[in-house]
Amino acid sequence: MSESEGYSAAAEVGAVRMRRSWRERAWIELKKAPFTAWLGLVIILAYVFVAIFAPWLAPYGEADAQFGAYEPWSGAHVFGTDQIGRDILSRLIYGARNTIGIALATTLLAFLIGGSLALVAAISRGWIDQVLSRAVDVLISIPSLIFALMLLSIYGSTTLSLIVIIAVLDSTRVFRLGRAVAMNVVVMDYVEAARLRGEGLGWIMRREILPNIMPPLVAEFGLRFCFVFLTIAALSFLGVGIQPPTADWGSMVRENASLIQFAQFDLRAGITPLLPAAAIAILTIAVNFVVDWFLMKTSGLRDEP
């Protein structure tokens, strides 16, 4: 409260009120959140819980192939077993850990690369910006799944090359958005002031610009995660992504796909290959719900009037 002269009701009330802690503010926002956002949050938390505690939750090991192949649903194997006799429920649970973990690592790496290059381009402008932007223009003009397939054929399908390739390809999208929003911020007076003060590039990036472009970047993080998650699932489904025996939802769909032909005789067998695919879909929908709510919250950005 800056106004000091005379009586101000706001000042009196403001003086008594304690500053709400981060947790309290988050809770107040959450209470106002729509049902879909709640649903999304609960689903995401459930996935994270399963991913973290996978070894304690799974009834059998990840690559434990000691049972008969294609056993039906039963008490011992809730969703049956797969083509070489591994428990499907256990692989679903471990798959949460592998699939989400790899997608998360990829998204983080993509943001690290794309975000920092975007800030560098926005701050220094000039030829650095030109070179980076044109390079991104070229890279973005190849569909990323096709590009990823080509690079995987060169470097082979290891988990590390998968993470690096997808992260580099997706960092171009992050770069585009990051540069666009950072461009609006770098022209502000306080950035100029920091520059005149003699602050280095690192300081300006971290302390002046990053806090001001956080909301769109956080929303983009959610959407990017979905995209990366779906890309990795697609690649694994095609057999060139995460390799066996690592349990992964994309490759699980492929491995059990033939079961779907038996749906007429045993509906539950027909549903089995759909379970990992549904797991992927539910998580993406949940993240989308939360991102929608977050976007509405931070920028009022929504297409509804």
Partner 1 sequence: MHPVVSIMLQRLALGLMTLFFVSIIIFMAIEMLPGDFTQAVLGQAATEETVAAFRRELGLDQPAYIRYFDWVGGVLQGDFGTSFSGRASSGVDRSREVVDLIGPRLANTLFLAGMTAVIAVPLALLLGITAALWRGSLYDRAVNATTLSTISMPEFFVAYILILFLGSLYPVFPSLANVSADTPFWERVYRCALPAMTLTLVIVAHMMRMTRAAIINLLASPYIEMARLKGLSATRVILFHALPNAWAPIVNVIAFNLAYLIVGVVVVEVVFVYPGIGQLMVDAVTTRDIPVVQACALIFAATYILLNLLADIISIVTNPRLLHPR
Which residues sit at the interface with partner 1, rule CB under 8 A? 137-139, 141-147, 149-156, 226, 230, 233-234, 237-240, 250, 253, 257, 260-264, 267, 270-271, 273-274, 277-278, 280-281, 284-285, 288, 303-305
Taking the least distance from each CB to partner 1, the nearer of 206 and 268 is 268
Taking the least distance from each CB to partner 1, the nearer of 174 and 235 is 235
- State the angle between helix axes of 88-95 and 249-256 in degrees (0 to 180), rounded to the nearest 10: 150
Residues with Cβ within 8 Å of residue 245, at least 6 apart in sequence: 62, 63
State the nearest-atom distance from the C-beta of 153 to partner 1, in Å.
4
Cα of first residue to Cα of last residue in the chain, in angstroms, is 34
Taking the least distance from each CB to partner 1, the nearer of 172 and 209 is 172
State the nearest-atom distance from the C-beta of 168 to partner 1, in Å.
12
Taking the least distance from each CB to partner 1, the nearer of 21 and 264 is 264
Taking the least distance from each CB to partner 1, the nearer of 25 and 302 is 302
Distances (CA, A) of 98 to 169, 188, 285: 21, 43, 19
State the nearest-atom distance from the C-beta of 149 to partner 1, in Å.
5
Of 232, 93, 207, 79, the C-alpha closest to 157 is 232
State the nearest-atom distance from the C-beta of 206 to partner 1, in Å.
33
Distances (CA, A) of 286 to 45, 160, 277, 281, 300: 10, 27, 14, 9, 20
State the nearest-atom distance from the C-beta of 112 to partner 1, in Å.
23
Cα 223 versus chain centre, distance = 6
Could you give phi then psi for residue 271, rounded to 5 degrees? Answer: -80, -25
Taking the least distance from each CB to partner 1, the nearer of 57 and 263 is 263
Tokens of 296: 């509405």
State the nearest-atom distance from the C-beta of 258 to partner 1, in Å.
11
